[in-house]
Structure 1
Amino acid sequence: MEIDLRQAIIQRVSGKSVDDLTEIIQSSIGGEEMVLPGLGVLFEMIWKDSTAAARKKLATTLHKHLNPQQVK
């Protein structure tokens, strides 16, 4: 049976408590680059379940971090 990276990440975090998920995310931020695909999968899940307003806020936040010279 072949499993892709996305499925492996989802299986690894499935069944975790909110506190566990918070700790996983917190410990991944600024960590090794190998955790970035996992954060990407989690972000994808959040994005898919977000309202249009929440998506706009996420994109605006990313834009501000990527373009700090444009923030007034």
Structure 2
Amino acid sequence: MDLNLRKAILSNISDNDQTQLQATIVDAVNGEEKMLPGLGVLFELIWTQSSEEEKQEMLDALEQGVKQATSS
């Protein structure tokens, strides 16, 4: 069976508005494990639409977040 998870996730969220997309993000961040692949696809969309400057800002924020999470 050929399952393309990325396409399935995009299909499931294709009609979502900002409120629904935010709910998906919040659910994943709050520990809803089944939402994590969707969060990855959403991040991929953000990353591919971002300028180099925006990507650097995201990397800086991510690095800070990792440092804070691992120092606790």
Partner of 1:45: 45
Instruction: Give the C-alpha shift of residue 9 in structure 1.
Output: 0.4
Give the Cα–Cα distance (whole angstroms) in 1 for the partners of residues 32 and 26 of structure 2.
Answer: 12
State how 1:29-40 maps to structure 2 within 5 Å.
29-40=29-40
**Unaligned residue ranges in structure 2 (runs of 5+):** none
Partner of 1:13: 13
Q: CA RMSD in A?
A: 1.6
Answer 1 or 2: which has greater helix percent.
Answer: 2
How many pairs does the alignment contain? 68
**TM-score normalised by L of structure 2:** 0.81
**Unaligned residue ranges in structure 1 (runs of 5+):** none
Greater relative CO, 1 or 2 (CA 8 Å, sep 6+): 1
**TM-score normalised by L of structure 1:** 0.81
Partner of 1:54: 54
Instruction: Give the C-alpha shift of residue 33 in structure 1.
Output: 2.2
**1:13-72 CA-partner distances (Å, limit 9, x unpaired):** 00111111112211221223222111001000100000111100100011001123xxxx
Give the Cα–Cα distance (whole angstroms) in 1 for the partners of residues 32 and 5 of structure 2.
Answer: 17
Moved more, 13-22 or 27-36: 27-36
Give the Cα–Cα distance (whole angstroms) in 1 for the partners of residues 16 and 32 of structure 2.
Answer: 22
